[in-house]
Amino acid sequence: MEAIGFLELNSIAKGVEAADLMIKAADVRLIFAKAGCPGKYLILLTGEVAAVSASLDTGVAAGGSHVVDSCLIPRVHPQVIRAINLAGDAQPAGAVGVMEFFSVTASVYGADAAVKAAEVSLLDVRLGTGIGGKSFVVLTGEVAAVRAAVDAGIHTPEAQGLVVSSVVIPNPVPELFESLM
């Protein structure tokens, strides 16, 4: 069973160390390990649930007081990984939805909940780089599906208290849609 694990730290140095130890701890694949804003370090990996869990435990122990948040999502929807890597292939649809979060981890949970709740396409899961440490998710689809997906994403228990704002825009102008790609 494929899972993702995400670790967010407030120290770049401790993040690099944690990433190394996490990869050595179990049979996982690193999707990315990189610095983000404001001075955070973000680690995303994938693999079998038990391996990802063991890697996250190792990373949390190594990060200690520098750990901001972590998450393990078993059976993650494949669109989440593609959107994090900006590899979405969505076409203009009836609506665009945006969910904005204070936490990078909350956006990963929100994106997964949204895409599992309704038939939508994730365009982007932006993880705190260049936007002051906040994060956001952009998705598209038919209006009702986008509304249902955004509602599920902002109300997932792991995002409670971390939602900045959300919006569903029916019939977005083509220029707006293009600017989101």
* pLDDT exceeds cutoff 90 at 85: no
What domains are defined for the chain?
2-74 (3.30.70.1710), 78-180 (3.30.70.1710)
pLDDT tens figures, 2-24: 899 999 999 999 999 999 999 99
| Cα–Cα distance measured from residue 97 to residue 8, given in angstroms and rounded to the nearest whole number | 25
Given a cut of 70, is residue 101 above it in pLDDT?
Answer: yes
Exposed/middle/buried for residue 121 (C-beta within 10 Å: 0-12, 13-18, 19+): buried
Do 149 and 120 contact (CB within 8 A), yes or no?
Answer: yes
Residues 148-177, mean pLDDT to the nearest whole number: 91
What is the pTM (predicted TM-score) of this model?
A: 0.78
